[in-house]
Amino acid sequence: MSLAASSIFSLRQRLTAGEISPADILADLSTAILARDPEIGAYLSFDLEAAQIEAAAADLSLPLGGIPIALKDNINVLGQPCTCGSRFLERGYTSPYNATVTERLRAAGAVPFGRMNLDEFAMGSATENSALQITRNPHDLSRIPGGSSGGSAAAVAGNLAIAALGSDTGGSIRQPASHCGVVGLKPSYGRVSRYGLVAFASSLDQIGPLTRTVEDAALILQAIAGPDRRDSTCLDVPVPDYLEDLKKGVAGLRLGIPKEYFDEGIDPAVRALVEAAAARLQAAGAELVEISLPHTEHAVATYYIIAPAEASSNLSRFDGIRYGRRAPSPADLDDLYRSSREEGFGADVKRRIILGTYVLSSGYYDAYYSRAQKVRTLIRRDFEQAWGQVDAILAPVAPTPARKIGEASSDPLQEYLSDICTLAANLAGICAISVPCGTVPSGEGTELPVGLQILGPHLGEATLLRIAKAAEL
């Protein structure tokens, strides 16, 4: 197996044994990227020379010592671009500081390497909404990799990255992980610092890993989790030993099967693979329990009020004055704002800003935003009641396998509905993971990956990873 296609654990064993060096891994990765990324389009940029210098000084005794980790291009790395997949930041913006997760990766010995493509400002489910390029699914280049962390997922699946970080606001780690056949973990809200993540929806965003194995996801989460005084939403609570808990298995655990996630909207082939994965966990000693999450049907409508409202506020900082694109020769200040944003933002970002501004406006706040927050509370209570019955919940990640590129471009609603199985976890602030559970034929000679979604209580990542390890094929 090539170094670029290896897991973190296998590379760490070879590094500490002196069989390979970090420079060898970077050389193999750069060869793979140059050979295949032109057709996949996962990377927006990478600085091999800077990574080689950093790798030469890596402390191989640390948990991630010498391992290159790719980062979604909305996570700041000092001195590197941070485009957010947008023309607004395409030219002239370089990160002036490190995100907390960047600092923690380095503290664990990792080498940040590569800026990964994403839907513009993380708004999308296909990585078609990037203003800079389209990313393709390595399993079938005619199909999407999912989004918005599509570059991160495609790079890991295509053996162009050892592992990567993504962000998840409504499924943006789990959905591309499912479509690309890798592991994708969304930690609980507050488990990982958001400092240095360019905000989409601040009450929903979380940073998490995309990896080849559950062990690798646990290893990265161990490195990046924990309190941070620079993020007031990051919780000051102990971080468990996630690797130790992986060994415990699932015997005696109660796993919920929510009827709302297995209705007629789920592709029968996807449903069959998820049910087969649940049966394997049952055979390993878990108990399957049918449960109900009755307010799930309102998750899409609730999300698409709250997330755009927060986005309209967060993106107001992009005004053509302080950084990013600035319209030439504006007539006045108002024209500067309007023209810079018209030139800099893509269609989907504009659509969400308009929607968010509308639901926050005078006369509509109570009818939409305030009501959505009340429904969000009901969704959170559904999960709280479920945790009284079960230890975790099993569900599909996406209702279908990866669709063809361009299929939903004329119908944004269909694109929004593709996140129907993932949105509730963000609204409730709980942890969730996608683990590959098989493939389905595309009908065109390719096999399309499908992920099993496992949802756990807030700060329940240790149990979540135990179950994911048992479900891993």
The set of catalytic residues is: 72, 148, 172
Would you say the C-alpha torsion 228, 229, 231, 234 has a positive or negative sign? positive
Q: Which of 83, 71, 246 is nearest to 163 (CA)?
A: 71
CA 61 to CA 12: how far, in whole Å? 9
3-state secondary structure of 19: coil
Cα–Cα–Cα angle for 262, 184, 279, nearest 5°?
40
Contacts of residue 457, defined as CB under 8 A and 6 or more positions apart, other chains included, come to: 383, 387, 392, 430, 431, 463
| Helix spans in 116-213 (H) | 150-157, 174-180
Structure tokens at 207: 């940073």
Q: Which of 428, 435, 394, 356 is nearest to 173 (CA)?
A: 435
From the number of C-beta atoms within 10 Å of its C-beta (0-12, 13-18, 19+), residue 351 rates as middle
Torsion of CA 280, 281, 286, 288, to 10 degrees: -80
